[in-house]
Structure 1
């Protein structure tokens, strides 16, 4: 056994006690496995992009908006099993669209989004969906603080009233996604949109096997959407096997236009809809029904 004398420098020890060839080997070993180099390995770069699995969104975070975080996934800057933590309110200036993994440089296997504190919102005034899953799979939006408990806390709100405004859109075969315990607000004044809507697919199977559960779906501001949830798919790529359960769907009734809590329209099959509540929080005069 080799003992190092107290206070004696390791370089002197190597020089005095060991053959030159062994000293060189040990020095190289210490350099390679030093804590500094281990830290550098953990912060390694690949193709000049920092590989992260957890990113923060909000004031003081890695990204200030959800759109910026989605752009990072789309460009391959953030890859793998990804978690996005919402650490404050965000103000979105454009649609946050997440593309399918394998499209362009996007390379992720799953994505979890949740807030780290109570009362946070993702908001914008956008003439498009606030959030769009464009062929994206295995995304979970969990509105509970730290993804635990039973309170629907995180809010997604789009205050725009154009024909294409919505809180969430699933398009181009977005599959195996879950939205739970979130509040989604939008007031798109068109029969072809909804607070959440599933639309057509140019390729793939359709928007299938998605779950909306334990959410609050309601209007944004004084205007009311014509659909809370809407689906219309593509022939041969139907929107199929989606589940809508245990949601509170309210303030969607429009007394001058046909309106729907859940509107499962063309090319949509095998949906499971159960345990949802439909109601209004205000007293209404139902002019649409009056003779």
Structure 2
């Protein structure tokens, strides 16, 4: 492979929520596989640490701070990533917030905040990055939905509603963008061992002990962020070019 061809084959990825949990694992996995990574998040220390780990491992990365629900911040982060690493042709929409609350007690503020991050954030980042993919006639978009969007979850109506919308948006984007060489797929995580999950476990926010939840799974354990990262790695690969509009459950066999 010539140096020019080699340079062209190196893809730049932007991962939202890249500073912790599944996003962190995805950033590190993609970097190990030779991608340049824009680590986007709202915690400057976390995203800087992930970017530094990638650089120390011989990769290329930039930490870009943004609230995904703020279009101006997203556009600035995309510009910074493009300037540092080149056109972005891989996007992982991972950023999300959760909120446990019985439906009658969900305030309009809580509802709007969950939807603005989990759904509007996906709209902002996808639309901002898309011109690079259209110009390249090649792109990979991966979204993170949730098992709860498929089977329901008590005290999480606003969260599961947002993630159900992510699934619908994924499929519609796949139909619209497929003729342009861009695939769009979603990963539906089950109970993954992330800081977000640990906060819920430590605060006893589930209706039953979490051990009882995972005991009902065919694979009775918490999932690991790296297992989500592997699924993401598959979807963004060249070999997955004929796979789009799919929802992959990484959930220990918990059937929807």
State the TM-score, normalized to the length of structure 2: 0.29
Q: Which has the higher strand share?
A: 1
Q: Which has the higher helix share?
A: 2
* Higher RCO (C-alpha 8 Å, min separation 6): 2
